[in-house]
Chain A
Amino acid sequence: MKLVGIVGSNAEQSYNRLLLKYIATHFAEIVDVEVLEIRDVPMFSQDDDQSANPAIQYLNRKIMAADGVIIATPEHNHTIPASLKNTLEWLSYQLHPLDGKPVMIVGASYYDQGSSRAQLHLRQVLDAPGVNAVVMPGNEFLLGTVKEAFDDAHNLKDADTVAFLQTCLGKFLQFVKVTQAMNQPQPEELPTEDLTASGSIDTTIEGIDKEAEDWVEQAAAKVGAISGNQYVQLDRGILTVDQLNALLASLPMEITYADSNNQSLYYNLNRQPADEMFAPRQPGQAGNPLAKCHPKAAQKHVEWVIQQLRAGKQDVVRMHVPKHGDDQFVVHNYQALHATDGQYMGINEYILDFKPIVDWYLAQTGQTLAGGQVDAVSSASKTQSAPAASAEPTMPVVDAVSSASKKS
């Protein structure tokens, strides 16, 4: 295993450098530690990007190539030295070598404190989204009254201190392995989804072009589907087809049913003008495979949603679609359907504006929303730390921009 140790000070004489060199030599049989300096790193400025500077590039390369990083920090005015903070700013601006990297913090100081406050600040800094290091918790190594700590040969004098340092380092080597395992891609791969609905299931109506404009009429003729005032027995009740249609059309939402073969079979608001719908549907869409209902760019996300639902990872996937403006809060909900025996039967995509529901509730109860309006940007640290990289949530976006039902 290969580690690098960063001297958190640009001073000519530094006990933290001494500490890292001691770790490098004393524990050489356990681990290979290369000591790195930050002396030549220029002052950080957003206006003058010097990420290509050799001193910064050197640190970047060395850190990237290492399995883990030890940072030794002094304490200056209750915090880490400006030179260390400065280095971390460069390493979280255009370059991000510490992203996901296991880090161990140690520190030495002249006073009893042993850099305790600086170490806590350093933890917070390393946790910022642009840095995104994985800092080992606990195992705080504080070397106080450091002028007394080393002998003439630069060895730590106190046997207990050495033993504790060895314990911390041993745990860190384990921690590096744990972190590497954590960073591995998840082994479980869900089966791919055939969005072209090329297969068939028990209920698939065979022999009719799924993409035909009059698929509904052809399919109805083929199976002798009932309509109008004929009765259908439901669980629990009996309705005519007309009653059933009226009932479904009266729901305060748009619903769509795609079966477990990924064929879109139904939508409920056929009588409403398409341009008044949150996701405009066309009569010819009924019967289409899902691949035909979604733009190409969105299909990976559609597949992801179906995988989650079919595998039972989630019962519902919700997606706020902000394109309708502030007066509405339109959410696409992908709800898994199941037979009584639990078998996956497809998706109910229901699209609902939550805003009138919330407004009605507030009006009836005389309440107001705390903080006025909902803050759409919950991860403020994303733009908070100016030089930091963004930390967007990795949830796939299902048709958040283009409508979920746009005909491709």
Chain B
Amino acid sequence: MKQFIGIVGSNSRQSTNRELLQFMQQRFESEATIEIIDLNQIPLFDKPSDFQVPAAVTEIAAKITAADGVIISTPEYDHSVPAVLTSLLAWLSYKIYPLLDKPVMIIGASYGGLGSSRAQSHLRQILDAPEIKARVMPSSEFLLGNSLAAFDEHGQLKSADQVQKLDGLLADFLVFVGITEQLNHAHEMAQKEAAHFSWENL
């Protein structure tokens, strides 16, 4: 059984992205354990004068390191990912590198019809940055538009098509996690590069 971390990409109490992850948690309970993580304790990234990563972040980092993969569900704020998610990813590439070569699946929900499409494509680019270098599952996209009306009162996704799509994507992700385990030849080098990277010494 695979262990996944599900990151809710917003810090708001009411989040349809959280609902989406909760739905997955329940639906795929026989295939994987999904632990859902909220970002309401994440401080805005700055370069701290004491060079210390906040405890709320190291906690998440440890969970990601221990997990087989990460599912990020992002809303869209102003055509991009919310600052709180950008912040988390900035912290997760500051002296710690838990996402390096980690399999990641991107999904997202939005109130409007587009399902956070632009935020998801930004997120892909961000996760590809040299200090993050996650292994994002390619050629897959899950856009949940009109998300306020997407779930019934039991938290179930109403659209059978969307459920079928999600089933397929999760099955693919399980395979992708297996493949990614074999993509480890450059891992040590990448880890070294990221760890020894210093803007000041450029």
B-contacting residues of A (Cβ < 8 Å)? 10-12, 41-47, 76-83, 85-86, 88-89, 92, 110-111, 117, 121, 124-125, 127-128, 130-131, 147, 375, 377, 380-388
Contacts and interface: CB of A to CB of B under 8 A. Distances in A.
B172 interface: no
A382 B112 CA distance: 7
B90 A82 contact: yes
A83 B44 contact: yes
Given A45-B11, A46-B12, A86-B87, A77 B93 contact: yes
Given A76-B90, A83-B44, A384-B110, A125 B80 contact: yes
Given A77-B132, A82-B44, A82-B83, A383 B112 contact: yes
Q: Is the interface of B mostly helix, strand, loop or mixed?
A: loop
Given A82-B44, A83-B44, A377-B112, A385 B78 contact: yes
A45 B12 CA distance: 6
B111 interface: yes
A88 B84 contact: no
Contact of A77 (B89, B116, B118): B89
Given A43-B84, A45-B84, A82-B45, 18 more contacts: A43-B44, A44-B77, A44-B84, A45-B40, A77-B93, A78-B128, A83-B45, A85-B81, A86-B44, A89-B83, A121-B125, A125-B79, A377-B112, A380-B113, A381-B112, A385-B76, A385-B77, A387-B77
A147 B75 contact: no
A113 to B, nearest CB: 11
B79 A127 contact: yes
Contacts of B187: none
Contacts of A375: 113
20 contacts: A10-B46, A44-B77, A45-B12, A45-B84, A77-B126, A77-B129, A78-B128, A78-B129, A81-B45, A82-B90, A88-B78, A89-B77, A121-B80, A121-B122, A124-B80, A124-B118, A125-B80, A380-B114, A381-B79, A383-B111
In the complex, the 7 A-B pairs of residues with the closest C-beta atoms, listed nearest first: A384-B112, A86-B83, A380-B112, A380-B113, A128-B78, A82-B87, A77-B129
B199 interface: yes
B87 A43 contact: yes
B126 A79 contact: yes
Nearest to A75: B129
Given A11-B46, A47-B12, A85 B83 contact: yes
Given A47-B12, A79-B86, A385 B79 contact: yes
Contacts of A79: 80-81, 86, 122, 125-126
How large, as a class, is the contact surface on chain B? 35 or more
Contacts of A82: 44-45, 83-84, 86-87, 90
Interface in B85-114: 86-87, 89-90, 93, 110-114
Contacts of A41: 44
B202 interface: yes
B131 interface: yes
B112 to A, nearest CB: 3
Contacts of B90: 76-77, 81-82
B13 interface: yes
Contact of A130 (B78, B84, B93, B110): B78
A77 to B, nearest CB: 4
Contacts of B110: 380, 383-384, 386
B198 to A, nearest CB: 10
A82 to B, nearest CB: 4
Contacts of B49: 12
Contact of B113 (A47, A131, A147, A377): A377
B41 to A, nearest CB: 10
A interface SS class? loop
A110 B199 contact: yes
Contacts of B47: 11-12
A42 B43 CA distance: 9
A58 to B, nearest CB: 17
Contacts of B40: 45
A293 to B, nearest CB: 37
Contact of B114 (A12, A76, A384): A384
A81 B129 CA distance: 13
Contact of A131 (B76, B78, B118, B131): B78
A80 B78 CA distance: 13
Contacts of B131: 77
Contacts of B113: 375, 377, 380, 384
Nearest to B93: A77
A329 to B, nearest CB: 19
Contacts of A77: 86, 89-90, 93, 126, 129, 131-132
Contacts of A380: 110, 112-114, 145
Contacts of B93: 77
Contacts of B129: 77-78
Given A43-B87, A78-B128, A86-B87, A10 B112 contact: no
Contacts of B46: 10-11, 83
A86 B77 CA distance: 10
Contacts of B43: 43
Q: Which of B114, B128, B132 has the most CB of A within 10 A?
A: B114
A78 B126 contact: yes
Nearest to A92: B78
Contacts of A86: 44, 83-84, 86-87
A131 B110 CA distance: 18
A383 B78 CA distance: 10
Contacts of B79: 124-125, 127-128, 381, 385
